Amino acid sequence: MDLEEAKEFKERCTQCAAVSWGLTDEGKYYCTSCHNVTERSKEVINTGAIPNTKIQAISRGLKRKRKLEKGWDWYVCEGFQQILYQQAEALKTLGVGPELKNEVLHNFWKRYLQKSKQAYCKNPVYTSGRKATVLEDNPSHSDWDSEPDLLSDFSCRSFVESGTDSQPDGCPQKPFPISKASQSETASICSGSLDGVEYSLRKEKGIVKMTVPRTLAFCYLSLLWQRETITLSDLLRFVEEGHIPYINAFQHFPEEMKLYGRDKGIFAIESWPAYEDIYKKIIEIAKFLDLPRFPDITEDCYLHPNILCMKYLMEVNLPDEMNDLTCQVVKMTGIGEVDFLTFDPIAKMAKTVKYDVQAVAVIVVVLKLLFLLDDNLEWTLSNIAEKYNEKNKEDKPWFDFRKWYQVMKRSVDEKKQKWEEARAKYLWKSEKPLYHSSIDRAVVYKRREMVVSLQKQFSTLVDSAPTVEKKSPSSFQFNWTEGDSARTCFHGHGLQGILKKKGQSMTTKNSLYWLSTQKFCRSYCKHVTTYEESNFSLSYQFIINLFSFLLRIKTSSLHEEVSLIEKRLFKTKYSKTKKKSRSRKGRKY
């Protein structure tokens, strides 16, 4: 019936090589001999064509069978916008300032839509052939302030509002000035969103496609821009603990935004975000958005290593006095410099500091400076401290590494066990199951029903108390109290036993040091060092495991960070060790 209109399309069918095309309801070409549907759609050249299609669509209306749920017409990027909106709201409830949502994240997202040519540009991808669009705006143009001028008032408002369930009229406002006349009549067959199929097939060079993990990159970038007191590891932990929507975020889309088919591949997530992965995505997105240099990270910022070190010292129950040492290390290595800390995506080698990992690595280095961590010296020093503490019960106690180890080991093991159990009990599947096609639908829903009824039955066997009580979000995972022997607090303990006076300053009694990595990998394999656990002392393994659990990162990445700090700290010695190939060295303050 649409053969007339399809005559202008002359390509051979990829399936059967015939040239016999018809037009589908969505305006796409389908092969009349093998029913293969192409991705090419009939372009609506002028507005005059629109009424025509409409009439056709109406006349066809009776014959068409409505197999799938019909909801709003929506685009994939609107789905991501929804998720970002939810995440921003969640961050707001976590105590982040409202500017993050309304200004920073909003602007980043607009910039993304523009860069990926989805909106705010002359020729958005949705209007016509994808290839045709070239931004008139100079892509390297990065004047941040002038950009909102590109936006019409209407779309700007709708960005903030679209997707809120509280929307009074319940009708979605489209942020895109798009003419969808050829497609809007019906949702595409294989996805709930209008462009789900097209979106999942799209592979354009130079365009960073939006994915669910990338929403977190957006969140982090805005947090970093605002210099908020949330590190990446905190953010990811909040995601895992369910304080920030991520897995099944689509559940909270408005009822009318139906998801199925290809949308499943785009929005369904079956893994928690991994630190390294999101970190890479952050840089990738910042570069893609062509963001200017971020606000300076100065000494009074939470993300400055001095402050973060203090925070982590408290978290892992180490004496406050160690902060002096961490500050010294930060100073000597130069990692407290504003230029080092501030993220600059347009710099030659765009990379952002892993603030949390780095701070923790500094603490590890300090522990090594103090106790050597060779499975020997730390215990000798503990014996001395223990004896001293027994004799001088009234004085400020000396820090006893062994006692600390015992307390920490127990607490961490307990925490890890609980964490593993909570993960094992995690319910991944959404109440709103996603299916691939209409054939699947009944099966998927039936399966869902079955699971729910089985769960209901077994929940009667479980105590009435909820199995996993939701923890209130906190940047601290442990809390230490004086008096309780299982959770002894070491914050007030002194380091006298391990330091000695030399002239006016203090130096560590221990004058030895070993390097975590002696030779850095110089090949192109992207990692600078490897971490083979069994090659290291048990104390070192414990410390690395403790901190990497705290940040939920891989042990190897913390080890790498430690090695990098050491590389900076012993710069001169490194060049010497090349000749001497000995890693032991003395170090004085």
Partner 1 sequence: MSDFSEELIRPKTEDDQEESCLFSGTGMSFPWLQKHIGTVATGGKKEKDFAQTTNACLSFIQEALLKHQWQQAAEFMHSYFQILEDSDSHKRQAAPEIIWKLGSEILFYHPKSNVETFNTFADRMKNIGVLNYLKISLQHALYLLHHGMLEDANRNLSHAETWRYGEKSSSQEVLINLIQAYKGLLQYYTWSKKKMELSTLDEDDYAYNTASQNMLNHSWKTSVNLCALIQTPGVWDPFVKSYVEMLEFYGDQDGAREVLTNYAYDEKFPSNPNAHIYLYNFLKREKAPREKLISVLKILYQIVPSHKLMLEFHRLLRKSEKEDHHKLGLEVLFGVLDFAGCTKNITAWKYLAKYLRQTLMGNHLAWVQEEWNSRKNWWPGFHFSSFWAKGDWKEDKALACEKALVAGILLGKEREINLFSVDYLGCENSALCHRRWVC
Residues interacting with partner 1, by CB under 8 A? 270-272, 420-421, 423-429, 433, 444, 447-448, 450-451, 453-455, 457-463, 467
Q: How far is the CB of 426 from partner 1 (least distance, A)?
A: 6
Q: How far is the CB of 436 from partner 1 (least distance, A)?
A: 10
Q: How far is the CB of 445 from partner 1 (least distance, A)?
A: 11
For residue 163, report the phi and psi dihedrals to the nearest 5 degrees.
95, -15
Select 439 or 451, whichever has its Cβ closest to partner 1.
Answer: 451
Select 154 or 428, whichever has its Cβ closest to partner 1.
Answer: 428
HSE-CB at 473 with a 13 A cutoff on CA atoms is 19
Q: How far is the CB of 241 from partner 1 (least distance, A)?
A: 14
Among 185, 206, 146, 172, CA closest to 44: 185
Q: How far is the CB of 459 from partner 1 (least distance, A)?
A: 6
Select 151 or 468, whichever has its Cβ closest to partner 1.
Answer: 468
Q: How far is the CB of 518 from partner 1 (least distance, A)?
A: 30
d(CA 411, CA 494): 22
Q: How far is the CB of 195 from partner 1 (least distance, A)?
A: 23
Q: How far is the CB of 256 from partner 1 (least distance, A)?
A: 24
Q: Which residues contact 131 (CB under 8 A, 6 or more apart)?
A: none
Q: Which two tokens stand for residue 215?
A: 């929403």
Concatenated DSSP letters for 226-290? TT-S--HHHHHHHHHTTSS-BTBGGGGS-TTS---BHHHHHH---S---HHHHHHHHHHHHHHHT
Select 461 or 525, whichever has its Cβ closest to partner 1.
Answer: 461
Task: Write the burial class of residue 231 (CB in 10 Å: 0-12 exposed, 13-18 middle, 19+ buried).
Answer: buried
d(CA 62, CA 419): 56
C-alpha distances out from residue 561 to 48, 198, 357, 556, Å: 63, 41, 7, 9
Given a contact cutoff of 8 angstroms between Cβ atoms, the answer to whether 372 and 511 are in contact is: no
For residue 535, report the phi and psi dihedrals to the nearest 5 degrees.
-80, -5
Select 272 or 549, whichever has its Cβ closest to partner 1.
Answer: 272
Select 455 or 535, whichever has its Cβ closest to partner 1.
Answer: 455
Coil, strand or helix at 557:
helix
d(CA 295, CA 436): 45
Select 166 or 457, whichever has its Cβ closest to partner 1.
Answer: 457
Q: What angle do CA 452, 455, 458 make, to 5 degrees?
A: 155
Select 458 or 524, whichever has its Cβ closest to partner 1.
Answer: 458
d(CA 457, CA 156): 49
Q: How far is the CB of 458 from partner 1 (least distance, A)?
A: 5
Select 20 or 248, whichever has its Cβ closest to partner 1.
Answer: 248
Q: How far is the CB of 461 from partner 1 (least distance, A)?
A: 4
Select 242 or 254, whichever has its Cβ closest to partner 1.
Answer: 242
d(CA 211, CA 265): 10
Concatenated DSSP letters for 402-445? HHHHHHHHHHHHHHHHHHHHHHHT---S-SS---SSHHHHHHHH
Q: How far is the CB of 10 from partner 1 (least distance, A)?
A: 40
d(CA 363, CA 326): 6
Select 424 or 525, whichever has its Cβ closest to partner 1.
Answer: 424
Among 263, 199, 250, CA closest to 87: 250
Select 444 or 506, whichever has its Cβ closest to partner 1.
Answer: 444
Q: How far is the CB of 421 from partner 1 (least distance, A)?
A: 7
d(CA 38, CA 35): 9
